[in-house]
Amino acid sequence: MTSAAPSSTRTEQSAAPFGIFQVRVRRIEALGENFRRFTFEGPDLATFADNGRDQRIKLIFPLPRVGLDPMPTGTDWYQQWRELPADLRNPLRTYTVRNVRNESSEIDVDIAVHGRVGVASAWAVDAAVGDELKIFGPDNRFTGVHGGVDFLPPSGTGGFLLAGDETALPAIASILERLPADSTGEALIEVAADSDRAAVGSCPPGVRLQVLSRDGGPSGSVLVPAVREAAARLLPTVSGAAVEVEDVDIETGLLWEVPADESGGALARQTALYAWLAGEAGVIKTLRRHLVSELGMDRRSVAFMGYWRTGRAENNS
């Protein structure tokens, strides 16, 4: 692949909720010690949907020697991709969109960098302006619910509890920037270093934000006690009868539950507190048990996502 500006490969035929966007790196900005912000540009991004919140996308990385050429781009690209030989299957990784600027055909994606420990981190360390990628993301020509958004507070939400590790930092930061100015609650983010606070933007004045460094400790060592303390402040009394939630085997299953209505939108109900938790699956499982089983929060008011599992890479299949 060359570093020349990519031409648009997508057409105005019936738009699907998601499509593949051909892009290249326009800017790279360091955000603290462990984050880099990548600004991607490409003519296709004029139709990238700006849904805000924790909108998930997939970055599609080049392969040695063959680049992005093997990657299918049609509506059935995923099935075609799965059928490719392993050495021709471009790696996919999931991220959150931080900013969308349709007028200049740009988007921003923040990537946590902790050395060359995998496909994505190696690319983020080595990437340079002009490098090309493909991105699977939402298309603004589709008028329905795109999907890929898990921050779905019920229509009558009183306050918020947001918590996660550095893998959830871009999503929490994006959510905070889109919350109504009069929102209240707490947001807690566990990071590897204090300087990672630079990757978090604005926050409503009524939301208490804590960016907590674990200083070399294990994942969750700072986040779990901090969330317990925050929950005690936000839920000073048990909100309902404590119930035992079913156990999820995070070694073999996916820890992911997002309360939503039949259309994939927010539930129409009242809740004093809405909790959104994401990060290492074992940590999120512990926090889920505390909020639902021990404090009695209604499961319809708690969204929890195991973004990753210690010692395991994201599964592309």
Residue 258, in any domain of the structure: yes
- Give the range of the structural domain holding residue 292, as residue numbers without chain letter: 156-308
What's the number of domains the chain is made of? Answer: 2
Over the chain (317 residues), the average pLDDT of each successive run of 10 is 39 74 97 96 97 97 94 92 96 97 98 85 94 97 94 95 97 97 98 96 97 94 98 76 61 82 92 97 95 93 92 55
281 near 306, Cβ under 8 Å?
A: yes
Determine whether 199 is exposed, middle or buried from the number of CB atoms within 10 Å of its CB (0-12, 13-18, 19+).
buried
- Cα separation of 57 and 68, whole Å? 17
* Separation of alpha carbons 172 and 209, rounded Å: 10
Same-domain status, 299 and 170? yes
73 lies in the same domain as 177: no
Q: Which residues of 69-101 are buried (b: 16+ CB within 10 A; e: fewer)?
A: ebbbbeeebeeebeeeeeeebbbbbebbbbbbe
- Closest CA relative to residue 34, chosen from 123, 124, 118: 124
Which of 54, 112, 121, 113 lies closest to 91, judged by CA? Answer: 121
| Whole-number pLDDT of residue 184 | 97
Q: Confirm if 173 and 98 have CB atoms less than 8 A apart.
A: yes
E runs forming strands in the chain: 18-31, 35-41, 56-60, 92-101, 106-112, 132-138, 156-164, 185-191, 207-213, 256-257, 270-280, 302-308
148 found inside a domain = no
pLDDT, residue 11, reads 46
Specify the residue for token string 């919350």: 179
Q: Please name the residue that has the structure tokens 């009558």.
A: 156
Same domain, 259 and 297: yes
- Given this model, what pLDDT does residue 304 score? 95
Single out the residue in 138, 173, 205 at which a domain terminates.
Answer: 138
296 is written with which tokens? 């009695």
Residues 248 and 134 in one domain: no
Q: Is 299 helix (H, G, I), strand (E, B) or coil?
A: helix
How high is the pLDDT of residue 139? 97
The pLDDT assigned to 7 comes to 38
Pull the structure tokens for residue 298.
Answer: 């209604």
Amino acid (one-letter) located at 86: A
C-alpha to C-alpha distance for 198 and 172, rounded to whole angstroms: 13
Report residue 31 as tokens.
């955000």
Please name the amino acid found at residue 171: A
Is 192 in contact with 154 (CB distance < 8 Å)? no
**In this predicted structure, what is the pLDDT of residue 75?**
86
Task: Say yes or no: 222 and 84 in one domain.
Answer: no
Do 180 and 131 belong to one domain?
no
Pair of tokens at residue 301: 């008011």
CATH code at 41? 2.40.30.10
Are residues 112 and 163 both part of a single domain? no
CATH number of the CATH domain containing 206: 3.40.50.80
Q: Which two tokens stand for residue 79?
A: 């099935």
pLDDT of 117: 79
Nearest C-alpha neighbor of 178 from the set 7, 51, 25, 316: 51
- Whether residues 169 and 134 share a domain: the answer is no
